[in-house]
Structure 1
Amino acid sequence: MISQGRRIDLRSEVVTRPTAEMWRAMQAADIGWPQRGEDQNVNELEKRAAEMTGMEAGLFVFTASLANLLAMMISTVRGDQVILEADAHQVWIEGWNLAYVCGVYPRLIVSETGAMPLAEVEAILTEWRGPARPRTSFIALESPHNDHGGTIVPLEYVESLSELAHRNGCHLHMDGARIHNAAVATGLAIRTFTQPLDTVTVSLNKGLSAPLGALLCGSVKNIEEARMRGLKWLGASGMHRGGFFAAAGLYALDNMVERLADDQRRARLIADSIRDIPGIEVNHPQTNQVRVSTAPSGRPAAEVVDALAERGVLVLLRQPNVFKMMTHCEIDDAAAESAIAATKHVLSPAAVAT
């Protein structure tokens, strides 16, 4: 059992709490009225986000899902066709936004890592039936890709997709909620990944441990349109007292990015330590996510999730035969070792037999 009754929560980075220093930054924040452009922390955060991504402007919103929705709202009209990777967060978690809010028709492309085959993208963009040719206005990427285990879409691929999208009049968006993990893993600046894009979403609480918030970055025209849509259509841009949360976001950008390398190191440690257990398949983490498939053994992943929970280790059930572990700032080396020990016990042949 986990020593001293310590619960180890590996379900997601969103379970983390702000650090003591982050709380102090929030308490010390001199807040203004964000909706009128009078909050210095919000203004500075949006400016920092634009500089970080190499975009002209940024918009601070409540969640990454809202940022993704606004990106789609400013680039589509009802009835448009949009292209998304089949396992994307925008499909499985945000699908209501596609169908009900935007009224668009999604064309889904299956991939192994989040990089949709370019030939399939081009086929959708150019196909037609008689006089009817659907208008495709929006293509979205997700990187790192959550459902594929934190895989990073290669820069060369993003550049090629950008050329294809723009040649066909499409807006290219990236759900880069965890893009800081991609930057740390590759050693590339975030703006290197985002320069080929029209808009990008960046989360402040996935990995960076801020209590709330995400940023949508793009051109001044796109961001001002998103600001208007958020306010007039969704009632979602008036984040009163948002300066408290912006102060936390600024602290996170200054102090919580470089340490992501520790999360990634611990994810690799966990994956490498359990990889040889019979009956499972484990990814080779590129970022902070360990993806475990129980398909080789036929054992339902839910059984493993429940057994681990009984031993004080919480992991995330993703599919009938897949669970995930995500390292974060509250998982230290001791917690990682405890999670490894618990997983080895639960998946040992003796435990499975009982």
Structure 2
Amino acid sequence: PSVNKLEEHIAELFGMDSALYFPTGSMTNQAAIKIHTQPGEQLIADKYAHVYNYEGGGVSFNSGVSCKLIDGHRGMITADQVEEHINPPDFYHSPLTSLVCLENTTNKGGGACYDFREILKIRKICDDHGLGFHLDGARLWNALVVTDESPKDYGAAFDTISVCLSKGLGAPMGSVLVGKQKFMDKAMRVRKVLGGGMRQVGFAAAAGLYGIEHHWQRMADDHKRAQELSIALNQHPDVAHVEPVETNILIFNLRPDADELQFIERLKAEDIHISALGKGKLRIVTHYDYTEAMHQHFLAFLKNA
């Protein structure tokens, strides 16, 4: 009953036909790609897209699909770029383009949010060319807190949407794929093939529903803390550049003469853990379990460096 209640709530929230609970966000994305495509076809995504970079090569392994990667801005692509990269359907030498995948907010783009007007332009391009339209909305909850759009706006724009329950919402696990019925009719079978069918999982679904009802709007606190960390980092002697902060992700670069490993180890000694993205980029994420006490400790460390 808890799983059914969660699925019904999310479907209603987004104004879409149905929803299905999955153990992970990678699986919801991979299921959506499998549903929208046939082997040998191609999807369009930004070069930083999670579906391409961080899902174990699942696009090719699970669906036999290739990716046309676009050099976007902070993980976001435009309608003009999408149209430019659609392969002519009658040119049999190239893969048939069948799907466009967006990510909002963007992970490697530092939590950047799409301008919804651009999403609607991409939707029209997809309609004009008969393409599916999927959103990796693992952090869509964050975008909805800082923009004027509603979940139903997104539900009307996309064919399928993946949303995560275990990031900012603080649930122990789980993601949900929500979409139009003609696509969701296939979702349960694909979930089974991918090993995502779970029994006795009501406790986890209930936690996800609780997160939506009680933790969603408090994401504004995560965003505020990220902004405060951005200010402190900009004043730190070892930091060269901090990318714009819109939600709960900060990406920054150290100065060329700063020792990245030493910087990370100094933070670890204070029980502060951040990620290295390579090429001199470092990443911080604020979230439900990052408390005000932790935040003040981090700020004090940065200010006293």
Q: TM-score range by the shorter chain?
A: over 0.9
In the alignment, does 2:277 pair up with 1:334? no
Q: Tell me which of the two structures has the higher relative contact order, counting C-alpha pairs closer than 8 angstroms and 6 or more residues apart.
A: 1
**RMSD after superposition:** 1.8
Q: Give the unaligned 5+ runs of structure 2.
A: none
Aligned length: 304
In 2, the alpha carbon distance for the partners of 1:131 and 1:80 equals 11
TM-score by length of 1: 0.81
The answer on whether the counterparts of 1:299 and 1:321 sit within 8 Å (CA) in structure 2 is no
Secondary structure at the residue paired with 2:76? coil
Q: Give the unaligned 5+ runs of structure 1.
A: 1-39, 349-354
How far 1:332 moved relative to its partner? 2.8
Q: Bigger shift: 139-148 or 279-288?
A: 279-288
2:250 is aligned to 290
The answer on whether the counterparts of 1:288 and 1:326 sit within 8 Å (CA) in structure 2 is yes
The answer on whether the counterparts of 2:87 and 2:95 sit within 8 Å (CA) in structure 1 is no
Q: Bigger shift: 70-79 or 299-308?
A: 299-308
Q: Deviations over 1:170-204 (max 9, x none)?
A: 11101001111111112432222332111000000
How far 1:126 moved relative to its partner? 4.3
In 1, the alpha carbon distance for the partners of 2:169 and 2:249 equals 15
After superposition, where does 1:1-354 map in structure 2 within 5 Å?
Answer: 40-127=1-88, 132-231=93-192, 233-237=193-197, 239-278=198-237, 279-294=239-254, 296-297=255-256, 299=258, 301-345=260-304, 348=305
The answer on whether the counterparts of 1:113 and 1:153 sit within 8 Å (CA) in structure 2 is no
In 1, the alpha carbon distance for the partners of 2:132 and 2:121 equals 14
How far 1:283 moved relative to its partner? 2.2
In 2, the alpha carbon distance for the partners of 1:147 and 1:205 equals 18
**Which structure: larger Rg?**
1
TM-score by length of 2: 0.94
| Runs of 4+ deviating beyond 4 Å | 126-131
Please tell me the residue identity of whatever aligns with 1:270: L
Please tell me the residue identity of whatever aligns with 1:290: L
The answer on whether the counterparts of 1:293 and 1:323 sit within 8 Å (CA) in structure 2 is yes
- Quick one: structure 1 residues 241 and 343, their matched pair in 2 at CA, closer, same or farther if it must change by over 3 Å? same
The answer on whether the counterparts of 1:300 and 1:321 sit within 8 Å (CA) in structure 2 is no
In 1, the alpha carbon distance for the partners of 2:127 and 2:96 equals 14
In 2, the alpha carbon distance for the partners of 1:77 and 1:329 equals 38
